[in-house]
Amino acid sequence: MTVTLVRPAELCLSSGGTIAIGTNVCDRGTNPVPDDARAVFYQGDPCAGGGVACETGLPILLTPAACTEVTCDWSVPSGQSINEVSVLVDPDGEVAKCHNGNNGGAVAAILCLDYFN
């Protein structure tokens, strides 16, 4: 599987409130990925203690070479800045795969411009 975050600039517009964060998940292997495989979004790096922002399951069975977008709603605490978002699909390693280590994606040090000036 490969994972890339979608619409990272929207993270800049959210401080306090609910946003939909999403990722594209693609099956680059030879085994299908079952529907409802977990996609977990973190604020920061989960290996460095980043907390869970939200999680969801894949909406469809991913056959080899297929992709799908998954989203979940994140309630961003008021006044909290968003500097890094990470996502892991199948964080518990329950899906059989050919290549380990490519189930994650991150946007680090998001540069947010002042959209109101």
* pLDDT score of 54: 93
Mean pLDDT, the chain, rounded, equals 78
Please tell me the predicted confidence (pLDDT) of residue 93: 80
Do residues 66 and 58 lie in contact, with contact meaning Cβ atoms separated by under 8 Å?
Answer: no
Q: Is the pTM of this model over 0.75?
A: yes
Q: Of 45 and 12, which is predicted with more confidence? A: 45
Q: Which of 102, 87, 117, 91 shows the shortest CA–CA distance to 8? A: 87
pLDDT tens-digit readout, 1-26: 677 777 776 776 656 778 888 888 98
Contacts of 65 (CB under 8 A, 6+ apart): 26, 27, 28
- Is CATH 3.40.50.2300 correct for 2-107? no
Give the residue, 72 or 93, on which the prediction is more confident. 72
Q: Which of 53, 36, 34, 26 is nearest to 107 (CA)?
A: 53
Digit-coded pLDDT (tens) for 86-104: 888 888 888 766 656 555 5
**Strand order from edge to edge, sheet including 51-57:** 51-57, 38-43, 85-89, 104-107
The domain spans of the chain are 2-107
**Could you tell me the pLDDT band of residue 117, with boundaries at 50, 70 and 90?**
very low
How much is the pLDDT for 72? 92
Amino acid at 79: G
Q: What is the pLDDT of residue 14?
A: 59
